[in-house]
Copies of this chain bind each other. A is one copy, B any other.
Amino acid sequence: MTTVGAPTLDEVAVLAGVSRATVSRVVNGSPRVSPEARQAVQAAVDTLRYVPNRMARSLVTRRTGTIALVLSESDTQIFSDPFFASIVRGLSAHLADTELHLVLLAARDAREQEKIGRYVRQGHVDGVILMSLHGDDLLPDILARTHVPVVLSGRPLDGRAVSFVDADNAGGARAATRHLLDQGRRRVATITGPLDMVAGQDRYAGYRDALEGHGRAVDADLVVEGDFTEDGGLRAMATLLERAPDVDAVFAASDPMAVGALQALRAAGRRVPDDVAVVGFDDAAVARACDPPLTTVAQPLEDMTRLLLELLLRRIEDGDDAVESRVCETRLVRRASA
């Protein structure tokens, strides 16, 4: 028994003068161990710097102690979205005092998605949280075949039966648009998200709802599709100003796009909110920092990440396939831009 590699349970057992079984019990915090034995084992663990071998443990427990957040985005662009960063932060925070680890997996194309599928099927993780689904996304199907619990961040596009947690995107967009209409704005435009994404669709639907609720028709000139990025927002606003110079309000489906719109408006010499009112979505940090500060729609990120984890962990624990989902209320945050 040389001490070349990492120390094993046996070595600890020998040093502590007990059996492997007892060491295992101590390491796993079983109550059925005498104080003396426990202490001897602890000492041995410390002097040997023993760390259980995860592979060996997983082989018998069928648990890895890690869950994956998988991002399926053609571009690596998603990284720059503050919403994504918030989700990561929220999940990490909730996991902080558990022994569950969070790993991020990114797939840019179909090949990488297949690779992630293999990774999951091979048993590297206990469950996965899936984010950012475009219309043509293969991952839900790939993962469904793995029999590993999955919960989506965001409603699935095709209404399939999976667990998910989402914000009330339509409701938030409706509130935002209504806020603009209630101010007496006559030409309320929108910069939508990508319309092959649910969040893009739902926020656009909310915009339409609000308009129709005020007895207005949707004017195609006032709708431009964006891509959730600041740069996309800038370009979209420029297009809008060209197509409809009389625009006096705009609902951008994300804060970065709203910030981009702000820049385009400044470049065009329009004052915000006097000439054009702007509302964003997400209540990202940038919404507070920009000039003027953005009126925006806040999502309860704390709650959403907690629910995401609750749903996933319950499915992992119980091993059932019950699908369950939650939709969280949004809140309009009024600042200077509208």
Contacts and interface: CB of A to CB of B under 8 A. Distances in A.
Interface of A: 6, 51-56, 58-59, 64, 66, 68, 76-77, 79-80, 82, 84-86, 88-89, 92, 96, 101-106, 108, 111-112, 115-116, 118-119, 121-124, 147, 231, 263, 286, 289
Contacts of A102: 105
A231 B122 contact: no
A59 B64 CA distance: 13
Contacts of A286: 231
A20 to B, nearest CB: 16
Given A52-B122, A53-B123, A82-B80, A106 B106 contact: no
B101 A104 contact: no
Contacts of A104: 103-106
9 contacts: A51-B122, A53-B59, A54-B124, A79-B88, A92-B106, A92-B108, A101-B115, A102-B105, A231-B289
B85 A51 contact: no
Contacts of A84: 79
B89 A76 contact: yes
A80 B76 contact: no
Given A77-B85, A88-B79, A104-B104, A122 B289 contact: no
A121 B51 contact: yes
Contacts of A101: 105, 115-116, 119, 124
A53 B122 contact: yes
B108 A66 contact: no
A119 B66 contact: yes
Contacts of A121: 6, 51
Given A76-B89, A263-B263, 8 more contacts: A51-B121, A53-B59, A53-B123, A79-B79, A80-B85, A92-B106, A101-B105, A104-B106
Contacts of A116: 101
A310 to B, nearest CB: 20
A66 B112 contact: no
B85 A112 contact: no
A6 to B, nearest CB: 8
